[in-house]
Amino acid sequence: MAAAGAVLSVSAALTAGPASAADSSYAFAADARTVTGAAGTTDAALLDAGRSYRSSLAKGAKLYYRLEPDASTSAYVAVTAVPRGSGKLSVNDGIKVSVQNSQGNSCSYESANFGITGSPHPITAWGARTTSPRMPLCEGGGPYYVVVERADADGSTSGTWDLELATATEPRLGRTDATSAPTTWNSATPSPLTGEATTRQGGAGFARAASVKQGVWRAGISPGQTLFYKVPVDWGQQPSAVAELGSHDGGDSSGYAVGALQMTLYNPVRADVEDIEIGYDGSQNTASLAPVPPVAYANRYAPTDQVNGMRFAGWYYLAIHLSTAVADDFGTGPFGLTLRVRVTGAAQDGPGYAGQSVPQNVFGVTAQDRAAAGEGGSGAGGDSAMKALAAGGLGAGTVVLVVLGVWTVVGRRRVGAS
């Protein structure tokens, strides 16, 4: 019975839907391991490829973690910082993430901050040790060190932040590919989709992002809340998105919230491709992402995030945040949100990897992914706990049936024993 209860608990967790509009907390990966960041490289804990981890980052802290890719594999790590409580934040508060070799040379560097309003929400910066493009100072196998540090502005009162670290590796190509980014592509802004919207509430984190395909989607969003969506984008395809914050129906107001709605596009390793912020005065307003190029391996050679972020196929994420400042003039909501997603271009063959990525199929789109996008399921990019059930041939519903069967057998044995 204890085992049956445990399985039921797992089943309930796996079948739970995305967070409600009133829930502004971040949903960490269900299978995330807890790891403590070290004060120096000597004690840096190893981050295994394809895993998610939970950690924390105190004010003024600088922490080290370790990666050990082989010489022919590119390694990626995304670090999401989640502020605790309601401490004061400024536009200069954020995180800095770098990857360094054992000689202290930098392989990558990126930072992320909370935007002009300082509204607390999950922010993500990424690091990489890549073999393509080749970096002469970061060749060969590990160890490499992930350095995560706070960027604290004067007067900031924000305390310790929670961290989610997600890792992935990309194999080398099996053949020679172009070594320069495309110089021409369709950069025209596509017209937003129209039509009736389907209700699909966003998830509360990358691991619980609600999957969508091309279409019009609607949800409720409250001040301080961040909704996560994911859309499968194959090689040769271009995603675009428009987020519309609906008009306020709570009466007249002369207020104005700067940077009220923020939308960020992340690629399959959670690298920031582009973002946009808009203000809000109570009337409807839209945030439209600028056009990005079709997904292509050679995009990684471009100097701008908007192009080099479109370097591989897979699940692309949309994170939509409504600033806490909106509540000052317009109430606690929830407010109507309409998301218009378009994916243009025919899917093409991939570049021909010589091996398998970790996690498997993270740099591609499967039939399962496409089905999940229409139905709102997790697809191949879901939590590994769900993937483990799928690999064993058990869906959540099957688990429930197994448990009921256990109860039946136990009941019959008890009757026979009496």
Q: What is the pLDDT of residues 93-124, one digit of tens each?
A: 999 999 999 999 999 999 999 888 889 999 99
Give phi and psi for 330, each to the nearest 5.
Answer: -125, 5
Summarize the confidence of residues 144-161 as an average pLDDT.
85
Shared domain check, 240 and 150: no
Confirm if 268 and 170 have CB atoms less than 8 A apart. Answer: no
For residue 2, tell me if it sits in a domain.
no
For residue 57, tell me if it sits in a domain.
yes
Question: Residue 185: which CATH number?
Answer: 2.60.120.380
Number of domains making up the chain: 3
Shared domain check, 335 and 292: yes
Which residue carries 């109430």 as its tokens? 331
Residue 412: predicted pLDDT? 37
Of the candidates 196, 199, 200, 242, which has an alpha carbon nearest to the alpha carbon of residue 342? 242
Shared domain check, 271 and 146: no
Shared domain check, 347 and 413: no
Residue 273: predicted pLDDT? 97
Start-to-end CA distance of the chain, whole Å, equals 18
For residue 10, tell me if it sits in a domain.
no
Q: pLDDT > 90: what percent of the chain? A: 67
Residue 89: predicted pLDDT? 85
Q: Is the pLDDT of residue 46 over 50?
A: yes
Q: pLDDT > 70: what percent of the chain? A: 82
Question: Residue 164: which CATH number?
Answer: 2.60.120
Mean of all residue pLDDT scores within the chain: 85
Residue 87: predicted pLDDT? 66
Confirm if 179 and 301 have CB atoms less than 8 A apart. Answer: yes
Q: Among 145, 170, 195, identify where a domain stops.
A: 170
- Lowest-pLDDT choice from 115-124, 163-172, 242-251, 349-358: 242-251
pLDDT classification of 198: cutoffs 50, 70, 90 = very high
Residue environment code for 270-302, b if the CB has 16+ CB neighbours within 10 A, otherwise e: bbbbbbbbbbbbbeebebbbebbbbbbbbbbbb
Rounded distance between C-alpha atoms, residue 260 and residue 116, angstroms: 9
Q: Which residues contact 234 (CB under 8 A, 6 or more apart)?
A: 295, 313, 347, 348, 364, 365
Q: Among 150, 170, 190, identify where a domain stops.
A: 170
Shared domain check, 206 and 105: no
Summarize the confidence of residues 330-354 as an average pLDDT.
95
Pairing of strands 210-211, 161-170: unpaired
Shared domain check, 393 and 315: no
For residue 7, tell me if it sits in a domain.
no
Summarize the confidence of residues 76-105 as an average pLDDT.
90
Residue 118: predicted pLDDT? 86
pTM score, two decimals?
0.86
For residue 76, tell me if it sits in a domain.
yes
Burial (CB < 10 A; 0-12, 13-18, 19+), residue 171, is: middle
For residue 416, tell me if it sits in a domain.
yes
Shared domain check, 165 and 63: yes
Shared domain check, 191 and 114: no
Residue 404: predicted pLDDT? 35
Rounded distance between C-alpha atoms, residue 347 and residue 349, angstroms: 7
Q: Is the pLDDT of residue 75 over 70?
A: yes
Q: Among 106, 135, 170, identify where a domain stops.
A: 170
For residue 50, tell me if it sits in a domain.
yes
Q: Is the pLDDT of residue 331 over 50?
A: yes
Summarize the confidence of residues 249-256 as an average pLDDT.
70
Q: Is the pLDDT of residue 9 over 90?
A: no
Shared domain check, 331 and 398: no
* pLDDT tens digits for range 218-235: 999 999 999 999 999 999
Residue 409: predicted pLDDT? 35
Of the candidates 381, 16, 26, 54, which has an alpha carbon nearest to the alpha carbon of residue 226? 26
Distance of alpha carbon 262 from the chain centroid: 15
Range of the domain at 157: 24-170
For residue 6, tell me if it sits in a domain.
no
Residue 155: predicted pLDDT? 65
- Lowest-pLDDT choice from 114-118, 365-369, 392-396: 392-396
> Which tokens is 18 given?
């995305």
Q: Is the pLDDT of residue 167 over 70?
A: yes
* pLDDT tens digits for range 257-313: 999 999 999 999 999 999 999 999 999 999 999 999 999 999 999 999 999 999 999
Q: Which residues contact 26 (CB under 8 A, 6 or more apart)?
A: 80, 82, 122, 162, 164, 204, 205, 226
Shared domain check, 157 and 245: no
Rounded distance between C-alpha atoms, residue 281 and residue 402, angstroms: 54
Rounded distance between C-alpha atoms, residue 339 and residue 76, angstroms: 29
Residue 191: predicted pLDDT? 85
Shared domain check, 151 and 137: yes
Shared domain check, 345 and 405: no
